[in-house]
Chains A and B, each alone.
Chain A
Amino acid sequence: GENVEQHPSTLSVQEGDSAVIKCTYSDSASNYFPWYKQELGKRPQLIIDIRSNVGEKKDQRIAVTLNKTAKHFSLHITETQPEDSAVYFCAACKAGGTSYGKLTFGQGTILTVHP
């Protein structure tokens, strides 16, 4: 089955700095890679996703890059703010049609943004 490794497990940055979280996956059949943000006591929320036919996607201060050959993808957050502090999870799955349900998650990265 799929295996997703996520690094680093903790990341501490100063407000305004950039943060990068990296994930690798094992199953070359995986074609969908979402990122979720989970604040303390809350549900994971989808913040950005990328499909295997795209190399990069950006949404305001957040971007995701995908290298299919190397089987790794990364989350980039620019101009970090204290409210970006949370646990971030990467995930991978073989999605198609209505099937996005069987995600394999990384172990999570605790991001702390210091004011």
Chain B
Amino acid sequence: KAGVTQTPRYLIKTRGQQVTLSCSPISGHRSVSWYQQTPGQGLQFLFEYFSETQRNKGNFPGRFSGRQFSNSRSEMNVSTLELGDSALYLCASSGKNSPLHFGNGTRLTVT
């Protein structure tokens, strides 16, 4: 069974730009979550989607948004990028009685 797939692996953007990250969950998993990982703040929950609906949201500004498609694939978008948005963005999926498994992440660098 293929794991969680995230694209792209690396991304360099300039302040003020926007970015879209993509995630394909493990086959059969309908829940997708996004996390931000930084050296200073650790792993922080962004949001969770299930059946195309946002089920939970973390404490991030409205510049961070996401969506889920009918095939469970998910995207997250960050608008008006700031230097502090530089981080590893991790997507994870879970299913019925199947806990969270992470993808390899997208390393975003904002210059």
A interface residues, Cβ below 8 angstroms from B = 32, 34, 36, 42-46, 49, 89, 91, 95, 97-108
A98–B96 CA distance with the chains assembled, in angstroms: 4
Question: A101-B33, A105-B42 given as contacts; is B100 within 8 A of A34 (CB)?
Answer: yes
Q: Cβ of B45: which chain A residues have Cβ within 8 Å of it?
A: 101-104
Q: Cβ of B50: which chain A residues have Cβ within 8 Å of it?
A: 98-99, 101
- Known A34-B100, A101-B48; 15 more pairs at CB < 8 Å: A32-B99, A34-B99, A43-B103, A44-B43, A46-B99, A95-B99, A99-B50, A99-B94, A100-B94, A101-B33, A101-B55, A101-B56, A101-B94, A103-B35, A108-B42
Q: Cβ of B95: which chain A residues have Cβ within 8 Å of it?
A: 98
Q: How far is the CB of A103 from chain B (nearest CB, A)?
A: 6
A99 close to B48 (CB less than 8 A) = yes
Q: How far is the CB of B57 from chain A (nearest CB, A)?
A: 9
Q: Cβ of A43: which chain B residues have Cβ within 8 Å of it?
A: 90, 102-105
Interface of A is mostly: loop
Q: How far is the CB of A104 from chain B (nearest CB, A)?
A: 7
Q: How far is the CB of B43 from chain A (nearest CB, A)?
A: 4
Q: How far is the CB of B81 from chain A (nearest CB, A)?
A: 23
Question: A42-B104, A45-B102, A89-B43 given as contacts; is B96 within 8 A of A102 (CB)?
Answer: no
A87–B55 CA distance with the chains assembled, in angstroms: 29
Residue interface mask B85-109, A partner, CB < 8 A = 1: 0000010101110111111110000
Q: Cβ of A42: which chain B residues have Cβ within 8 Å of it?
A: 104
B31 interface contact, C-beta 8 A:
yes
B73 interface contact, C-beta 8 A:
no
